[in-house]
Structure 1
Amino acid sequence: MHSAAPVTPPRVAVLADDLTSAGDGAAPFRRAGHRARVLLSGSPLAGHGQEDGVLAVDLGSRLLDAAAAGDRTREAARALAGAGLLLKTVDSTLRGHVAAEVHAAREGSGRPAVVIAPAFPAEGRTTLAGVQHVRGVRVDESEFARDPAHPVRTADLARILPDAVLVDPDRTELLPELLADGGLFVCSAVTDADLDRIVAAVPDHRAVLWVGSPGLAAALARHHAHPDPSAETGELPPAARPLVAVGSANPATRRQLDLLAAAPGAVSADAADRLRAADTPVRILHTPHERRADPVELTRRLAASVAALADRAPFDGLVLTGGETAEAVLRALGAHGIDLHDEPEPGIARGTLAGPAGLSPVPVVIKAGGFGDDRTLLRLHALLTGGPA
């Protein structure tokens, strides 16, 4: 993370461990009227902050070890400590280096009180007595415990953050008193109304570090609406030849992939060659089903294939699934981030490629691997083309 030059403190800063988390954290604020930009990891922070906008930074830390992830988070939190609202996103299934990054963000930001609320009710992720669930199942007993790249080891936030105080929904009104002396506070929530009550209970939002998933981001955005006519960008043009790039191995995404691949005229492949001559509006590039393959190498190959298609069989829209996939693809295309347009569904961000002069502002939709129902990719493809879902 390059931050030597002075950084203009944005109205809202979002620190995320991968690209989809950065998009998910910023999108609710965009919907609430803020301008919003998402930066890829390694991009200089200087020159992107806006006093009336949202800057979401992909730290790329999920692929690092815990110590390196903490160092990168601490540096970014220090650079953006002046933000009016500082949100450290965490995965709603607790994948990644949650403890290391929360402690590092607290240290870097200088904010002694930390409010942690990882629930994302719109996607069935809830926190009960400090234990994270997905659709009623503990996340460490769900499909996320078998994630080939980032398996979940425990659902118990008291084990992940043993120095934290657990706050149940019926104790939310005690937050002002609890926060006064600093510390970490894990807030349970099962509904959006629970998250709204947590946000409303905190007297000074600038004084705390917020930690949560898109559910908390949405609650904060509802509380900090900022209607700004100058932030309106109009409708994005429909895409005639979009490309769907699927790098997530999550079973939910693979079911979505199978359904999209069965659409009339769809061409689906795990290499670029077969797609170059495909004259169809449904083109899908995906990582192969290789259980023993290195996920990092598969992602690298997928990104290289997308870049090859951009040169030889150009596309005018992108759907990207999986945080590592999205980052690798955008980097291969020469982008340094995304200017957000809207949030078409919970946890899904749509925008245009942002980068050096000459880079075409291609519409792009990014989705975390485990999000959505079986028809999500069909809907997102239709969103780009303007056709029926």
Structure 2
Amino acid sequence: MRTLPSIAVVADDLTSAGDAAAPFHLAGFPAWISLGAAVMPPAGTVMAVDCDTRALPAADAAARVTRVVRQLTGADVLVKTVDSTARGHLAAEIAAALSAGGRATAVIAPAFPAEGRSTVGGVQHLAGVPVHRTAFAQDPGHPVRDADLTRIVPGAVLADGSGHLAGLAGRARYVVADAVSDRDLDEIVAAVDRPREVLWVGSPGLAEALARHLAPGRHPGRTCPMRRLSTRSRVLTVVGSLHPASRGQAERLGALGAGAMVPVTAAHPAHAAQWAERELAGCGAALLHGPADWAATGSVPAALAAVVSLLATRRAFDALVLTGGETARTVLDALAVRAVRLAGQAEPGVPLGVVDHPWRFPVAFKAGGFGDLDTLARLTDLLTTSAPAEDPCAP
């Protein structure tokens, strides 16, 4: 059996770190998500670091990425995640990771076919529509103004097929690769003769293709088995994302009667905590959400985290579902969580893990725009009666 490589994932937010590491875990790599500190992964393991740069100015984001990547240059495979809708400081962070990582070429392939995100002619699409013409154009933190990756990343060239990509790797500094299917992503990875000598830039779709290539025959699928619990868990869902997909999922969960939708404001965290605690004790589920107000977005994650902290002191929940990268990171920071051990994923783009808290509870998190209308309902049902197995994806 060949030795599996060490893999380092550098992300700009927590959900991106988790959903890029999960496919490797499914292929048999033990995986951890670090909330800040970078530790070189041993052979056959994955270290994903959330640099938490999405909300920083571009120069500060690049400086933080540089510091983290310098500690991970010895990894066999280096992955820089980017948002599959082109939000964030793509140009600055890719350039920083490429320089600090000592790689010659950044292969940029952010397509995620399982979630309807594709790259055609270098332009990023969601369900066939350029992302700057979707709801992501109104994102409160990073409104998407351009979907053309060759313009977003100065100096990037478009590879015209995997054969052209093979010739460009090692010669061009930035190469954008089109993909509309998982097969396209597999061909992109296979086209690079020395995958350990490039910086891989993408989303969960590219991570899945790399996992299939680096550990052939060991990929059990896109989900991991769960163990049934002897008692029902109390599941707390926290929705901080203002994306319409997340709002719709939250409303759907409420309509199904899976606990009350508890509104949260910075002024009354104790009231929200008491309400949520009653729901968790009574029906085993509750959902915290902020106001549907774009102007209030800066205070929403902190207000939600304050309520979760109050509930944690009372051990009022047994499992967490966190929606939105900034919200997920803010909540776990408030709970003094510094790492998450991955245990698989519930579905593409929704990783499952166990926190390093003295009270070791399971957590699931997803990006705000991921999933269909019933995603949160499925997660609540899954975690109410099941939990991640200790090593469900071990080879």
Same fold, judged at TM 0.5 (above)? yes
Find out whether 1:33 has 2:36 as its counterpart. no
1:277–1:313 Cα contact (<8 Å) kept: no
- TM-score, reference length from structure 2: 0.89
Aligned AA (1:36): A
Aligned residue for 1:222? 212
> Which position in structure 1 is the counterpart of 2:285?
282
Counterparts of residues 85-104 of structure 1 (less than 5 Å): 85-104=77-96
* Partner Cα separation in structure 2 for residue 317 and residue 162 of structure 1: 43
Matches within 5 A, 1:120-159: 120-159=112-151
CA shift, 1:328, in A, is 0.8
Cα distance in 1 for partners of 2:309, 2:228 equals 22
Q: Which residue of 2 aligns with 1:83?
A: 75
Unaligned runs of at least 5 residues, structure 2: 264-271, 387-395
| Aligned twin of 2:380 | 381
Distance apart, 1:58 and its partner CA: 0.2
**Distance in 1 separating the partners of 2:324 and 2:93:** 20
**1:17 counterpart = 2:12:** yes
Query: Partner residue of 1:3?
Result: none
- Cα distance change, pair 236–56 in 1 and its aligned pair in 2 (3 A): farther
1:260 Cα deviation from its structure 2 partner: 0.3
Alpha-carbon distance in structure 2 between the residues aligned to 1:236 and 1:337? 22
Contact 1:29 1:36 in 2 (8 A): yes
Shift of 1:86: 0.3
SS at match of 1:87: strand
Preserved contact between residue 91 and residue 154 of structure 2 (Cα < 8 Å): no
Quick one: distance in 2 between partners of 1:220 and 1:35? 15
Percent of counterpart pairs with the same letter? Answer: 49
3-state SS of paired residue (2:294): coil
Aligned mates of 1:264, 1:58 — CA distance in 2: 34
Once the two structures are TM-superposed, the CA of residue 236 in structure 1 deviates from its matched residue by: 4.8
Cα distance in 2 between the residues matched to 1:237 and 1:50:
32
Matching residue's letter, 2:262:
A
- Of stretches 273-282 and 142-151 in structure 1, the one that deviates more from structure 2 is 273-282
Q: Secondary structure at the match of 2:353?
A: strand
The question of whether the paired residues in 2 share the 8 Å contact of 1:330 and 1:337 is answered with no
Q: Counterpart of 1:273?
A: 274
Name the CA shift for 1:291/1:209 in 2 (closer, same or farther; >3 Å). closer
Output the CA distance in 2 between the equivalents of 1:248 and 1:103: 28
Cα distance in 2 for partners of 1:362, 1:117 equals 34
Q: CA deviation at 1:174?
A: 2.6
Aligned to 2:341: 339
Shift of 1:331: 1.2
Instruction: Give the letter aligned to residue 306 of structure 1.
Output: V
Q: Decide which of 108, 114, 117 is 2:106's aligned counterpart.
A: 114
Identify the residue that residue 164 of structure 2 maps to in structure 1.
174
> Cα offset for 1:183?
1.3
Counterpart of 2:66 (choices 74, 87, 90) is 74
Structure 1 CA distance, aligned partners of 2:375 and 2:131? 22
Q: Could you tell me which amino acid in structure 2 is paired with residue 334 of structure 1?
A: A
Kindly tell me the number of residue pairs found equivalent between the two proteins.
Answer: 367
Corresponding residue to 1:164 among 156, 164, 167: 156
Stretch deviating more after TM superposition (156-165 or 189-198):
156-165
- 2:391 counterpart residue number: none
Whether the 8 Å CA contact 2:249–2:376 is kept in 1: the answer is yes
2:191 aligned with 1:201, yes or no? yes
Is 1:236–1:363's contact at 8 Å kept on the other side of the alignment? no
**Residue 103 to residue 159, structure 1, CA distance change in 2 (3 Å):** same
Q: For 1:149 and 1:175, how far apart are their aligned partners in 2?
A: 33
CA shift digits 1:312-362 (9 cap, x unpaired)? 25211111000011111111112112111112211110011124xxx1110
Q: Match of 1:85, as an amino acid?
A: V
Q: Residue 233 of structure 2 contacts residue 385 of structure 2 at CA under 8 Å; is this kept in 1?
A: no
The answer to whether the 8 A contact 2:235-2:284 is kept is yes
Instruction: Give 4+ residue runs of structure 1 displaced > 4 Å after superposition.
Output: none
Indicate if the aligned counterparts of 2:55 and 2:141 stay in contact, CA closer than 8 A.
Answer: no
For 1:210-246, what per-residue CA distance to the aligned partner results, in whole angstroms no more than 9, with x for missing partners? 0001110110011112759xxxx98456452110111
Q: Structure 2 vs 1, CA of residues 236 and 161 (structure 1 numbering), >3 Å: closer, same or farther? A: same
| C-alpha distance in structure 1 between counterparts of 2:173 and 2:291, whole Å | 45
Q: Distance in 1 between matches of 2:295 and 2:173?
A: 42
1:292 maps onto 2:295 in alignment: yes
Distance 1:301 1:221 in 2: 37
Which residue is equivalent to 1:320? 322
- Judged with a 3 Å threshold, the aligned counterparts in structure 2 of structure 1 residues 204 and 337 are, in CA distance, closer, same or farther, namely same
Match of 1:13, SS state, is strand
CA distance in 2, matches of 1:149, 1:386: 36
Q: Secondary structure at the match of 1:272?
A: helix
Task: Write the distance in 2 (CA, Å) between the matches of 1:288 and 1:333.
Answer: 23
Distance 1:292 1:135 in 2: 27
Structure 1: 5+ residue stretches without partners: 1-9
Counterparts of 2:382 and 2:258, CA distance in 1: 18
RMSD between aligned residues: 2.0
